[in-house]
A and B are shown apart, each in its own frame.
Chain A
């Protein structure tokens, strides 16, 4: 009875905490202007199914893809067991589904145990790879400090959660079923020697504590997620739903500029009287970006595939597309936290330098590389628009090229009249 009350109280606290964090996240996303991406809905659902649910862009790195798939499938399927844990916890029952499911229950548990074991193996491999083998993208200055710790925390929590399940099963079998007709489950059965010589009460206490550890661990993880890069496990889905579906080479046209130019070129042009002029051209801060940009930033799990494909980053430039996403997210957090920095600082200069913005070749390699269709280039281009259209702060050589386009219709200083000269040459 008491344990049921404690259970319900913990569950309620966990869910409340998570809800509050999600609300905070929504406030963060609401800082952005609308993305205008509610069109082409069937295409959006199918993209989400293919890219997020189906892991469609993980292919280029098959080993990482296979291990990621194990952890992903493990996470989704093993969590079915949480349903039983919750019902057991509330009702004070033990393995509520065992009797009604009969043999199927053993089948399911065997399946979960094997999957759980594979998850542990994958997480250990991920840890060793990250901390010891270190592919450059995982051992990169972008991740110094908290981001690297965050990654390690996530892997350790997953290992602990899965281990708790397996240890609980093993201790319980040792206590109740040794010498009985019941066959042990596949993985916990192998762990029985760990408990040789334990008393029945010790086994029972251990199994109970593992049960609680698993349950509290899940709640803690749930509340850790929204503060972590690992929230991608949820945000991946809406993020991919809001993917850019227009051609990859297309930068959206600014309507206010079109209106301005049409009024200049055509005296008979009547601008829409209801059109609201933009507060600012391009993006100086997160408020100027659109919803999908900020959703991208929170969905980024900092894998660094973008940065490892970026030609600027590969040649030692400061630009790292992953850092563009991390900086955007951290700036939203700064705004949400309030305080002095929220008003006095901005995404430009305080989080992302001009040097980084001007190093982009707009080659789309980062966009191609991202398994979640995150688009760092979009943010870079909007920030360049701010620099050029609000501050006239392009590099001088770029200003020369733009001056040439204005004066002689080519970025180079050749007269337009000579455009056809090649015909005679």
Chain B
């Protein structure tokens, strides 16, 4: 973004990568898939790179309003400084915070989850999905809480998966009733409280019960949790956990 600005250019959209997308190997694949799809569709996009900073979501949900606002106000200063209008985030937590929580602090943008943005690219005819490579596969989608229940978006990811020429299945609990993967509310950064099961093991079991070959997700944290869950059930060689963007990029041979 800084380079574009130095050249006096602007981008159509800012791609908000997020911490997992920047640093975690499994989530970085999603980041790259999104970038490749944006390139394929001819979208001019920018990233903040070293200027990007945590949105503050985990701090706020852990109760640290001070740290959240420190992050938010600094991010807003940078975003407003570049006159950013449109943001696409590959993480529902970043998406939710940018979309719903930054406006209260003076940062108002048009914010999309990557499934919404890619769906829009398809609708505008800027991107096509070649479904062939997923023919005959069974795919089940796990709703991220912060895309689904928190923001009411259940259809965009499903509409994208529907393009893949695969069999789409639903878990018994999906959409509004979908079970959390166990990562939200800063849980992923802490040890779980004492109980008799791990949430991500339970959710992975529900997904595996559909007989799916692929568990599709729309959140890097869901991806980490469910990948671990699938490994826990000894299915790591047989069942893949893929972000929707990875699936579409694979279908398009990117």
Contacts and interface: CB of A to CB of B under 8 A. Distances in A.
A398 B60 CA distance: 12
Given A249-B146, A385-B65, A389-B63, A397 B189 contact: yes
A265 B64 CA distance: 18
Nearest to A314: B202
B132 to A, nearest CB: 28
A361 B22 contact: no
B66 A257 contact: yes
A265 B63 contact: no
Given A398-B186, A411-B58, A418 B23 contact: yes
B17 A419 contact: yes
Contacts of A316: 194-197
Given A248-B150, A422-B21, A253 B104 contact: yes
Contacts of A282: 63, 65
Contact of A410 (B22, B180, B182): B22
A261 interface: yes
B62 A419 contact: no
Contacts of B104: 250, 252-253
A400 B69 contact: no
B65 A317 contact: no
A384 interface: yes
Contact of B64 (A358, A402, A417, A418): A402
Interface residues of B, number: 69
Given A362-B184, A395-B190, A397-B189, A402 B62 contact: yes
A381 interface: yes
A405 B190 CA distance: 15
A421 B28 CA distance: 10
Nearest to B31: A422
A311 B180 contact: yes
Contact of B149 (A254, A363, A397): A363
A360 B77 CA distance: 31
B196 to A, nearest CB: 3
Nearest to B27: A422
Contacts of B145: 361-365
A389 B66 CA distance: 8
Contacts of B64: 385, 388-389, 394, 402
A367 B176 CA distance: 11
Among A312, A361, A385, A400, which residue has the most Cβ atoms of chain B within 10 A?
A361
Interface in A379-425: 381, 383-389, 394-395, 397-398, 400-402, 405-406, 409-412, 414, 416-423, 425
Given A261-B73, A420-B49, A355 B63 contact: no
B194 A317 contact: yes
Nearest to A425: B28
Nearest to B52: A419
- Chain A contact residues: helix, strand, loop or mixed: helix
A249 B77 CA distance: 22
B209 interface: no
Contact of B180 (A247, A319, A363, A386): A363
Interface in B1-59: 17, 19, 21-24, 28, 31-32, 35, 47-50, 52-54, 56, 58-59
A300 to B, nearest CB: 20
Nearest to B175: A368
B210 interface: no
B211 interface: no
A262 B59 CA distance: 18
A352 to B, nearest CB: 13
Nearest to A406: B67
Contacts of A367: 149
Contacts of B83: none
Interface string A274-314: 00000001100000000000000000000000000101101
A315 B22 contact: no
A409 B17 CA distance: 13
Contact of B105 (A258, A388, A398, A401): A258
B24 to A, nearest CB: 8
Nearest to A420: B49
Which of A383, A410, A418 has most chain B Cβ within 10 Å? Answer: A410
Contact of A398 (B24, B49, B99, B190): B190
B179 interface: yes
Interface in A112-132: none
Interface string B49-93: 110111010111111111101110110010000000000000000
A368 B185 contact: no
B226 interface: no
B66 A363 contact: no
B229 to A, nearest CB: 12
A197 B87 CA distance: 83
Contacts of A252: 104
Nearest to A250: B100
A251 interface: yes
B199 A311 contact: yes
A355 B66 CA distance: 23
Nearest to A262: B73
A9 to B, nearest CB: 52
B187 interface: yes
B101 A318 contact: no
A385 B64 CA distance: 6
A260 interface: yes
B253 interface: no
10 contacts: A246-B100, A247-B151, A314-B179, A315-B198, A355-B193, A358-B193, A395-B191, A411-B19, A411-B54, A419-B52
CB-based closest 5 A-B pairs: A384-B63, A249-B150, A316-B196, A362-B185, A420-B49
Interface of A: 60, 246-254, 257-258, 260-262, 265, 281-282, 309, 311-312, 314-319, 355, 358-365, 367-368, 381, 383-389, 394-395, 397-398, 400-402, 405-406, 409-412, 414, 416-423, 425
Given A358-B193, A361-B185, A388-B63, 14 more contacts: A246-B100, A248-B149, A248-B152, A253-B69, A282-B63, A315-B197, A316-B194, A365-B145, A365-B149, A401-B190, A406-B67, A411-B54, A422-B17, A422-B22
